[in-house]
Amino acid sequence: MADSNWLIEFPALSRDTLRLLQRSIDETFREFSRSYGQALEDFFEPLLWFMIWFERLLLNAPWWLVIAVIASCAYLASRNWKMTIGVIAAFLAIGIFGMWEDTMRTVSIITVCTLLAIVIGIPIGVMMARYDRAQATITPVLDVMQTMPSFVYLIPVVMLLGIGRVPGVIAVIIYAIPPVIRLTNLGIRLVDKDVLEAANAFGADFKQRLFGVQIPLAMPNIMAGVNQTIMMSLAMVVIASMIGVKGLGQPVLKAITNQYFSMGLFNGLAIVAIAIVFDRVSQAYGHRIQKHRQVGH
Amino acid sequence: MAKIEIENVYKIFGDNPEAALARAMAGEGKDEIHSDTGHTVGLHDITLSMEESKTFVVMGLSGSGKSTLIRHINRLIEPTAGRIVVDGVDVLTLNDADLRQFRRTKMAMVFQRFGLFPHRTVIHNVAYGLEMQGVEKRHRQDKAAEWIETVGLAGYENSYPSQLSGGMQQRVGLARALCGDPEVLLMDEAFSALDPLIRSGMQDQLIELQEKLHKTIVFITHDLDEALKLGDKIAILKDGRLSQVGKPEEILLEPADDYVAAFVRDVNRARVLTVDVVMRPPSLRLTTENIDAALREMQGHRDDFGYVFDGDDFRGVITERHLRRAATTNGNSSVYDLADDSQTVTADSVLEEALPTILQSDTPVAVVNNDGEFRGVVSKRELIRVLTEHREEPDEAAQEPKRTGP
Ligand SMILES: Nc1ncnc2c1ncn2[C@@H]1O[C@H](COP(=O)(O)OP(=O)(O)OP(=O)(O)O)[C@@H](O)[C@H]1O
Ligand SMILES: [Mg+2]
């Protein structure tokens, strides 16, 4: 009878084999994290210190100073008064509703994640644009990173590094970095061949081409990527709070488990407010540095 | 020695150029190789030599390999076989750093679609070459401002290219190329994207600049009129092969094959050919001041007019009738004074300009250079022959079986 069964039922591996397979994968990984976990933690130690320092900085500074600094960043980036006033109003409202501390924690982690995503993502994008082989290998990896449910890669990260800020940041970056990589690659590949040829004809070397021509001309795309990365890391903050990242995500999580609707709503709105601020300011900055595009025909 | 020597250059586009190269060298045609192997023969055995301080024009239809050829000179494209020698140095032997240095200092390029940096202002575009040369900022801004003024764009220093019209953008392209003071100017269809009027203005400007600068210019065009206007020498490419190389008048008067003939058929020769092309030595030179002596000389000659010289000085033309009248009325006057020097044409004017003078004159008109020195004479008959010759060409010539292969 077993002979014809595979036509009706999928000939899956037997339950024992599967269990064995999973166990051996888990064992190997556990072994790996046992022997390298400490080394990895040491490696990320400076990052942890920086994050703690930055978070304390935001938390300990007087609230009006923080708002002033954020508002001037917004103004410098956008040169737009209306937007700056909107930013100030958003942060005042957050403070009034008692979410100042959590918001500062979230802003701090988002800032760190974005900076890291840019620092790691742009060079990878540049490499992909330069070598077709790099593009061919990295693109599927990015696809996996973007489609894999984010809870899944929380598991190995937690196994390796425990819970806390660093694994949180790593999870957020894994989730949020693909757009900046993809759009850097795309932006550089889309740079006009004629312009690049002109740079070559005048004897530009690799660095002069990259920083003098390719990156400036790819800037609209790169900025769009950065913008998306910021948005995605904000979205990930709630999930990352499950592994101990403090900030606006934790009250949201608490609200879900205890069915506190208004608590969830307020904190959710705070996240939305931050998202809008980051989004508009980074877009305005992207537009402003491209002023040569807005003129003429 | 020539400034630029291109020796037996082949360029095959494709993954495995060596195999296709062997077939090209064996003489197979571009189409054949393409349909058999998928490889494109960009250039087929090109040998050219370009003189210093001259304008060398490369002409051909779309796809004939002009852009490919000019990009070999600064090695934006590497040949599959052959050598490119600039100032005695084989460009292909340069390593990366030397090649960059070579591109920075020796040559500059002007592009068909301008190739300006959209994120840089005009002045920063123009200063780009100097920036690559490592020239200090103040100095390169000053130099760039000078060139912007020279090409007539003063006041636009801080505009972005997108704010300028096509003609203005290409002036920026020209200024950018000249600002680094290159020895060689590579111009790939530099004026092709411009309106006819602006285009001819740019051509005039280039000619004017070249009179001062004496650069070695390699100019690509698919327009014969432009080639004839600018070129000291013209090479004609067809399907990656050279059809003919020569001076403009050689191309015009002695086309090497049907392809070239088809190109030159519709050219308005009167607008292109200059007087010195149809100029001849005078049949009779008179070097005496004495009327009787002059008359005697003229009677022994088939023409009834002569060209009077005082040593090397040209004094004018005189007819036998005029001499006779002078001999009877005033036998003592000088032939030098009697000679008529009111009708002359300059050697480098085009036939169209010289036409009225030549047609109105009873005698062949004296040709002088810009300093007024005598160069020769041009007759009505010769002029008409040159202007009408190509119309006799029967249409069957174009229908003859085309030469194929080498
Ligand atoms: N990178 C390339 N890969 C493959 N084939 C090429 C490449 N560049 C040029 N070719 C081919 O080489 C031939 C010559 O091209 P080239 O661009 O030099 O022509 P051109 O004379 O400049 O034409 P145009 O007047 O259109 O600019 C064409 O058949 C073209 O298809
Ligand atoms: Mg071309």
Q: Are B344 and B368 in contact (CB under 8 A)?
A: yes
What is the model's pLDDT at position B392? Answer: 47
Write out chain A residues lying below 8 Å of B108, CB-based.
201-202
Burial B75-89 (b: 16+ CB within 10 A, else e): bbbebbbbebbbbee
Q: In what order do the strands lie in the sheet with B184-188?
A: B107-110, B184-188, B216-221, B55-60, B233-238, B241-246
pTM over 0.90: no
Using a 6 Å cutoff on CB, does residue B67 contact ligand 1? yes
- Average pLDDT value for chain B: 89
pLDDT tens digit sequence for B181-197: 999 999 999 999 888 88
Question: Hey, which residues 141-200 in chain A have their CB within 8 Å of chain B?
Answer: 192, 194-195, 197-200
Q: Which of A62-66, A153-157, B262-266, B309-313 has the largest mean confidence?
A: A62-66
Most confident of A236-250, B58-72, B307-321: B58-72
What is the predicted pLDDT for the residue at A128? Answer: 96
Contacts of A292 in chain B (CB under 8 A): 118-120, 160-162
pLDDT tens for residues B249-262? 889 888 899 988 88
Within 197-256 of A, beta carbons closer than 8 Å to B belong to 197-205, 208, 213, 216-217
Structure token pair of residue B255: 């086309």
Q: Give Cα separations from A86 to A82, A265, A277, A283 (angstroms).
A: 6, 20, 8, 15
Report percent pLDDT > 90 for chain B.
53
| Contact residues, chain A, for B74 at CB < 8 Å | 201
How do the domains of chain A map onto residue ranges? 24-296
The CATH code of domain A24-296 reads 1.10.3720.10
- Measured in Å, residue B192 CA sits from the centre of ligand 2 at 10
Chain B residue closest in CA terms to A205: B100
Coil/strand/helix, residue B114: strand
Look at residue B405 and tell me whether its pLDDT is greater than 70: no
Q: Region A120-143: what's the mean pLDDT?
A: 95
**pLDDT for position B372:** 83
Interface residue ranges in chain B relative to chain A, Cβ cutoff 8 Å: 74, 76, 99-105, 107-109, 111, 113-120, 128-129, 132-133, 160-164, 180, 186
Q: What is the mean pLDDT of chain A?
A: 89
Statement: residue B337 has pLDDT above 80? yes
Q: Which residue of A has its CA nearest to B164?
A: A296
Is pLDDT above 70 for A18?
yes
Q: What is the pLDDT of residue B404?
A: 43
Burial group, residue B19, by CB count within 10 angstroms (0-12, 13-18, 19+)? middle
Q: How confident is the model at residue A294 (pLDDT cuts 50, 70, 90)?
A: low
Any residues with CB less than 8 A from the CB of A59 and at least 6 apart, and which? A101, A104, A105
pLDDT band at B110; cut points 50, 70, 90: very high
- Domain locations in chain B? 4-267, 277-388
Give the pLDDT of residue B39.
93
- This model of the complex carries an ipTM of 0.81
Quote the percentage of chain A above a pLDDT of 90. Answer: 51
Q: How far is the CA of B65 from the centre of ligand 1 (A)?
A: 5
Contact A271, A253 (CB under 8 A): no
**How far is CA A82 from each of CA A23, A68, A86, rounded to the nearest angstrom?**
58, 15, 6
Residue appearing with tokens 């045609």: B29
According to the model, what pLDDT value does residue B397 have?
Answer: 43
CATH of the domain spanning B277-388: 3.10.580.10
Residue of minimum CA distance from atom 2 in ligand 1: B13
What are the structure tokens assigned to B199, written together?
A: 């285009």
Give the SS3 label for residue B188: strand
* Lookup result for tokens 């998202």: A275
Tell me the nearest-neighbour CA distance from B144 into chain A, angstroms: 15
- Catalogue the long-range contacts made by B31-38 (C-beta closer than 8 Å, 24 or more residues apart): B38/B14
- Cα(B78)–Cα(A149) distance, rounded to whole angstroms? 49
Q: How far is A295 from chain B (nearest CA, A)?
A: 6
Q: Which CATH superfamily is domain B4-267 in?
A: P-loop containing nucleotide triphosphate hydrolases (3.40.50.300)
Please give the Cα distance from A281 to A279 (Å, whole number). 6
Whether residue A276 contacts residue A90, with contact meaning beta carbons closer than 8 Å, is answered with yes
Name the residue of B9, B10, B13 whose CB sits within 8 Å of the most ligand 1 atoms, as the mutation to test its pocket: B13
- Burial class of residue A34 (count of CB atoms within 10 Å of its CB; 0-12, 13-18, 19+): exposed
Q: How far is CA B329 from the centre of its chain?
A: 52
Confidence of residue B325 (pLDDT cuts 50, 70, 90): confident
A199 neighbourhood in chain B, CB within 8 Å: 117, 128
Each residue of A69-109: pLDDT tens digit?
A: 999 988 988 888 898 999 999 999 999 999 999 999 999 99
**Whether the predicted pLDDT of B401 surpasses 50:** no
Q: Which position has the higher pLDDT, B268 or B74?
A: B74
Least confident stretch, B59-63, B204-208, B292-296, B388-392: B388-392
- Tens of pLDDT, residue by residue over B142-168, are 999 999 999 999 999 999 999 999 999
